[in-house]
Amino acid sequence: MAAETTECPICKEEIQNPRLLPCIHSFCLKCLEEYCSSSGSLPGDKLPCPECRTEFEIPKKVVADLPVRTFITSRPKETPPSAVSETCFEHEERLRMYCSDCSVKVCSTCCFEGHRTHSYKKYEQVVDKFVRSIDDAVDPLTTSVERLRCAAAQVEKERNKLLDNISLVEQKIKERAQQVMQSVELQMSDLLQELQSLKSAAEIASRCNAICCD
């Protein structure tokens, strides 16, 4: 795999002696020096990034004091993947440190040159801290998810219980209605039978009165 190349936004060629601006855009040191010089600005003045127009401050001494930009490079093709490493573009050293101010990996020499006034730590320590912070952030979320699952299961259980109770009450209402209807029909039958008896008795009494009158 060929080494990674990065194009300078100013000269449009492979970046040489790269310097990093606070906005994380990188340029050739020579291109930046010419850019600052052509603007008539002095050390300490602010200029817009040639790429995104975000302002940056020209170093008090020289433009070369801007942070050195590091790039990932790879070994020749015959080197196995396990041997591929991250190497400083300028010093050809392993990138073992991490500059907190620039948010980039740097080599030991970078720490004493372009990043000498910055805060930096071993990259492994930064990674471990980041992983722990992710774990710390994930643990509460996992607990919340489990609680939601339990709550959802409880809601589902209560819903099923409510539906069962509704079905039971519905069945009892139907049974009670059937009992009431049977009772009403029985009472109606008794009343109609009694009424028929009274009607028959009245007819007999009427005929008897008619015979007596004759």
pTM score: 0.35
d(CA 184, CA 179): 9
Question: How crowded is residue 64: how many other Cβ atoms within 10 Å of its Cβ?
Answer: 15
CA–chain centroid gap for 30, Å, is 43
d(CA 50, CA 146): 50
Nearest to 35 by CA among 11, 5, 15, 6: 11
- Sketch the domain layout of the chain as residue ranges: 18-118
Question: How crowded is residue 123: how many other Cβ atoms within 10 Å of its Cβ?
Answer: 17
Q: Give average pLDDT by consecutive 10-residue segment, the chain, 214 residues.
A: 63 89 89 91 89 89 83 40 58 85 85 82 83 81 85 89 89 88 86 88 81 72
- The 3-class SS string of 72-130 reads CCCCCCCCCHHHCCCECCCCCCECCEEECCCCEEECHHHHHCCCCCCCEEEHHHHHHHH
Q: What is the DSSP string of the chain?
A: -PPP--B-TTT-SB--SEEE-TTS-EEEHHHHHHHHHHTT--TT-EEE-TTT--EEEPPSS-GGGSPBP-------TTS-GGG---B-TTT--B--EEETTTTEEE-HHHHHTTTTTS-EEEHHHHHHHHHHHHHHHHHHHHHHHHHHHHHHHHHHHHHHHHHHHHHHHHHHHHHHHHHHHHHHHHHHHHHHHHHHHHHHHHHHHHHHHHHHH-
